[in-house]
Amino acid sequence: MSPENTFNSRLNAVAADTETLLDQILGAAPLEGERSRPKRLLEAIRYSSLGGGKRFRPFLVVESAALFGVARSQALMAGAALECVHCYSLVHDDLPAMDNDDLRRGRPTAHKAFDDATAILAGDSLLTYAFDLLSRAETHPSADVRIKLVMALARASGLGGMVGGQILDLAAEGRFADLPRPHTLAEVETLQAMKTGALIRFGCVAGAILGEASAERHQALERYGAAVGQAFQIADDLLDIEGDTATVGKATGKDAAAGKATIVGVLGIAQSKERLKALVAEASSALSVFGDKAEVLKMAARFVAERQT
């Protein structure tokens, strides 16, 4: 099989398994400690999390956990938790008060398909559900491992992670008089490492946590995740400039119009493409400690850099 086919089939397998798992855990029956699952909210949650997306973050969890021989069912639970946080972030990012987008994953955004209030609540529920999933024994038999996952995901998602990065992103648009607009390369790198990078890094670190990895292997996956996160964001920014809406599944050309701070905006297209190549090399070299076992993750770094959707 060509490297491209190997990567795509592994990604598609995780996507299918993640879909099945999310479908199953987002059922109508209330769980112990829940009273009822209101129909409209559940529909909005299912609309926002099922039937779309590449499931790249769960793929990172499953493939990094596989390096340590972790059971796939456990990695899929942690991957589903991460995907819940990701889907919540997309729903909230699309709201009128944030990016005000009508199209996501080739379909109307959640607030268009439902309404703003329902979309806010669907996002809130997806965020809390992520931690529900991580705390379950199916995710890992050791409570210590589960607590480490909870803490790592909380830190990647919140104030000092994705949400913090989101407010820096809004600041870059000039929305707040009391928050300076990030514009230097270092400032934009920090913004993006938080907004997009933190969840991708968590995906890789989650494998190490589930596998109770040595410090050396944990750090190797952290380094890999940081490089892939940056490559993912630069590829996303290039798609916003060079991609078309039909292929990408969302509006393009919005970054420059909104005055967003991007690495491509600071470095230009040619230099950004050079940086992408360097990041792929950095991601591969970070994995050298794993030898041949990490081939799929190395391919993933290449395909992230070259992706068209």
Contact criterion met (CB below 8 Å) for 191 and 182: yes
Question: Which one, 110 or 213, has the nearer CB to ligand GRG?
Answer: 110
Handedness of CA 61, 66, 72, 74 (dihedral sign): negative
Closer to ligand GRG at the Cβ: 53 or 211?
53
Q: For residues 250 and 298, which CB has a smaller minimum distance to ligand GRG in the complex?
A: 250
Q: If binding is defined by CB under 6 A, does position 236 make contact with ligand GRG? A: yes
Rg for the chain, CA atoms, rounded:
19
Q: Is 284 a residue that touches ligand GRG (CB under 6 A)? A: no
The residue of the chain with the least Cβ separation from ligand GRG equals: 53
Minimum distance, C-beta of residue 68 to ligand GRG, in the bound complex (Å): 24
Which H or E run contains 108?
A: strand 107-108
Q: Who's near 35: CB < 8 A, 6+ residues apart?
A: none
Q: Which stretch binds ligand GRG (CB under 6 A): 41-49, 52-60, 65-73, 110-118?
A: 52-60
CB of 154: closest distance to ligand GRG in angstroms?
13
Among 109, 139, 196, 272, binds ligand GRG (CB under 6 A): 196
Please, what is the minimum distance in Å from the beta carbon of residue 105 to ligand GRG?
A: 5
Which parts of 67-126 interact with ligand GRG (CB under 6 A)?
Answer: 89-90, 92-93, 98, 105
**Please, are residues 184 and 172 in contact by the beta-carbon 8 Å criterion?**
no
The nearest distance, CB 145 to ligand GRG, in angstroms, is 26
User: Could you tell me the maximum CA-CA distance found in the chain, to the nearest angstrom?
Assistant: 55
Q: Whole-angstrom Cα distance, residue 251 to residue 142?
A: 43
In the window 166-195, what residues touch ligand GRG (CB under 6 A)? 166, 195
Binding of residue 258 to ligand GRG (CB under 6 A):
no
Q: What is the 3-state secondary structure (H, E, C) of 190-243?
A: HHHHHHHHHHHHHHHHHHHHHCCCCHHHHHHHHHHHHHHHHHHHHHHHHHHHHC
> Which residue lies nearer to ligand GRG by CB, 213 or 283?
283
**What does residue 104 show for φ and ψ, rounded to 5 degrees?**
-150, 135
**What are the counts of helices (DSSP H) followed by strands (DSSP E) for the chain?**
16, 2
Which one of residues 163, 170, 251, 266 is an interface residue with ligand GRG (CB under 6 A)? 163
C-beta of 141: minimal distance to ligand GRG in Å? 29
Other C-beta atoms closer than 10 Å to the C-beta of 149 total: 27
Q: Cα 269 to chain center, whole Å?
A: 24
Q: Write out the residues near ligand GRG by the rule CB under 6 A.
A: 53-54, 56, 89-90, 92-93, 98, 105, 162-163, 166, 195-196, 233, 236
